[in-house]
């Protein structure tokens, strides 16, 4: 970056003003945005959905290979994804940052540019937030507020026996992208002249560095007249999310290995890294695809939808949670998600 303006030149209030002064509110429900003690929203005829995420440097992201603009974009997207996972529409976000001295104003402008890009694409208003110092790494706290139609909000707890289990897109690619970046980072550390070779793996990097939230799927479900019985986004990995739905709905599930959607690049990469492909797809995390269940009577409707795969079905709770392999063998699903506390 060519310029470097120290944050002290603006001060805390100057900084947040500088970063937010060009923001224009788009949504009818955004009454008052940045610049008061609280944002003011109007949700007269809707239900209000609220989700929040705290992202910490060294735990949730590594600035060695994540550009700040991408980080801003992804930070917003992961929150939008939670709102879509309730069958809702994200409408507002607030962004709080804890920043250490090594960041300059241009860095934060980059981060905010990513946030703003995500907001523009998904029709979301940035309505609040603040910046403060951090003793150590970058801390990002985002809260997203969305609207849900009364009676159409979808919880984790509504899955019923015989329901079909569906998933959007494909799984495991974001995890493979992370493996790729981690490998290149360790190679990079050992060599002086080094240009990472990512050709043929662009999709994996994109899934890791610039994921999207499945607005299109939520809209397609609405157009098809489908209200899922349960829904979640796949952030910790398919296994972990399925177990959440089973627990919350008091059911069991069977999914089929051969039906799990996996991209060609993901499969190639697993081969190259000598990793188990199904494990990566089940436990990888950060896919931000939608996992949902629909009544058996919606079978033809979901079959007709683009980008949706039926991967199994809901069972009685006493039948447990299993993956049926290509050979017909059954393996119990376990939560091996990204449990950063374990």
Selected binder of its own copies within 114, 128, 169, 285 (CB under 8 A): 128
Rounded to a whole number of angstroms, the minimum distance from the CB of residue 149 to its own copies is 11
Q: Give the torsion through C-alpha atoms of 210, 216, 221, 222, to 10 deg.
A: 130
Q: Which is nearer to its own copies, 221 or 269 (CB)?
A: 221
Q: Tell me the closest approach of the beta carbon of residue 339 to its own copies, in angstroms.
A: 5
| Closest listed residue to residue 208, CA positions, set 65, 33, 1, 55 | 65
> Among 57, 163, 184, 263, which residue interacts with its own copies (rule: CB under 8 A)?
57
Does position 135 interact with its own copies (CB under 8 A)? The reply is yes
Contact residue for its own copies among 195, 223, 274, 340 (CB under 8 A): 340
Binding string to its own copies for residues 83 to 102, with x set by CB under 8 A, is what? x-xx-x---x-x-xxxx---
Interface mask (CB under 8 A) for its own copies, residues 99-118, using x and -?
x-------------------
Q: 144 vs 174, which CB is nearer to its own copies?
A: 144
23 vs 267, beta carbon nearer its own copies: 23
SS3 call for 35: coil
Cα–Cα distance for residue pair 191/183, rounded to 1 Å: 13
Q: Is 260 in the site for its own copies (CB under 8 A)?
A: no
Q: Is 274 in the site for its own copies (CB under 8 A)?
A: no
Chain positions 32 to 51 lying near its own copies, rule: CB under 8 A, are: 32, 35-45, 47-51
Shortest distance in whole angstroms from residue 325 CB to its own copies: 26
Apex CA 78: angle with CA 61 and CA 263, to 5°?
85
CB closer to its own copies out of 77 and 277: 77
* 30 SS3 class: strand
Taking the C-alpha atoms of residue 190 and residue 68, their distance in angstroms, rounded to an integer, is: 24
C-alpha distance across the termini of the chain, in Å? 38
Inter-residue long-range contacts of 10-18, CB under 8 Å, 24+ positions, other chains counted: 10/105, 12/130, 12/131, 12/132, 15/105, 15/108, 15/131, 16/129, 16/130, 16/131, 18/105
- In the complex, what is the shortest distance from the CB of residue 188 to its own copies, in angstroms, rounded to a whole number? 21
Helix (H, G, I), strand (E, B) or coil at 139: strand
Binding to its own copies by CB under 8 A, coded x per residue (else -) over 207-236, reads -------------------------xx---
Q: Residues 181 to 210: which contact its own copies by CB under 8 A?
A: none
Least spacing, CB of residue 163 vs its own copies, in Å: 17
Examine residue 53 and tell whether it contacts its own copies (CB under 8 A). Answer: yes
Nearer to its own copies, 42 or 120 (CB): 42
Taking the complex as a whole, how short is the minimal distance between the CB of residue 38 and its own copies, in angstroms?
A: 4
Give the SS3 label for residue 126: strand
237: three-class secondary structure by DSSP: coil
Residues 300-339 within binding reach of its own copies (CB under 8 A): 335, 339
15 in contact with its own copies (CB under 8 A): yes
CB contact set of 117 (below 8 Å; sequence gap of 6+): 69, 72, 73
> To 5 degrees, how large is the angle CA 180–CA 325–CA 235?
45
Token pair for residue 240? 């972990």
Single out the residue of 19, 18, 13 nearest to residue 114, CA to CA: 19
Residue 74: Cβ-neighbour burial (10 angstroms; 0-12, 13-18, 19+): buried
Nearest approach, Cβ of residue 156 and its own copies (Å): 5
Applying CB under 8 A, does 155 fall inside the site for its own copies?
Answer: yes
64: contact with its own copies by CB under 8 A: no
Closest distance between its own copies and the C-beta of residue 3, in Å? 18
- The pair of structure tokens assigned to 172 is 């495991």
């Amino acid at each position: 970056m060519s310029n470097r303006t120290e944050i002290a030149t603006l001060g805390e209030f100057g900084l947040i003003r500088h970063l937010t002064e060009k923001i224009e509110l788009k949504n009818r429900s955004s009454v008052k945005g940045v610049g008061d003690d609280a944002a003011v929203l109007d949700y007269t005829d809707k239900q209000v959905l609220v989700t929040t995420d705290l992202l910490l440097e060294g735990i949730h992201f590594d600035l060695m290979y994540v550009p700040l603009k991408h980080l801003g974009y992804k930070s917003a997207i992961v929150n939008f994804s939670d709102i879509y996972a309730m069958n809702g529409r994200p409408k507002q976000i607030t962004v709080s940052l804890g920043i250490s001295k090594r960041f300059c104003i241009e860095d934060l402008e980059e981060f905010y540019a990513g946030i703003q890009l995500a907001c523009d694409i998904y029709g979301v208003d940035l309505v609040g937030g603040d910046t403060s110092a951090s003793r150590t790494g970058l801390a990002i706290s985002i809260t997203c507020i969305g609207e849900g139609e009364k009676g159409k909000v979808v919880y984790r707890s509504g899955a019923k026996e015989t329901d079909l289990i569906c998933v959007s897109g494909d799984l495991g690619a974001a995890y493979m992208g992370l493996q790729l970046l981690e490998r290149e980072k360790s190679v990079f550390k050992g060599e002086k002249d080094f240009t990472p070779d990512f050709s043929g793996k662009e999709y994996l990097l994109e899934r890791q560095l610039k994921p999207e939230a499945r607005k299109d799927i939520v809209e397609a479900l609405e157009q098809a007249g489908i209200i899922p019985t349960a829904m979640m986004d796949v952030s910790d990995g398919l296994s972990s999310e399925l177990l959440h739905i089973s627990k919350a709905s008091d059911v069991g599930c069977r999914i089929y290995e051969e039906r799990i959607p996996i991209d060609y690049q993901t499969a190639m990469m697993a081969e190259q890294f000598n990793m188990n492909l199904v494990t990566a797809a089940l436990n990888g995390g950060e896919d931000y695809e939608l996992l949902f269940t629909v009544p058996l009577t919606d079978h033809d409707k979901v079959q007709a939808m683009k980008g949706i795969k039926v991967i199994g079905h809901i069972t009685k709770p006493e039948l447990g949670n299993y993956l049926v392999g290509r050979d017909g063998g059954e393996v119990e699903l376990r939560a091996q998600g990204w449990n950063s506390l374990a």
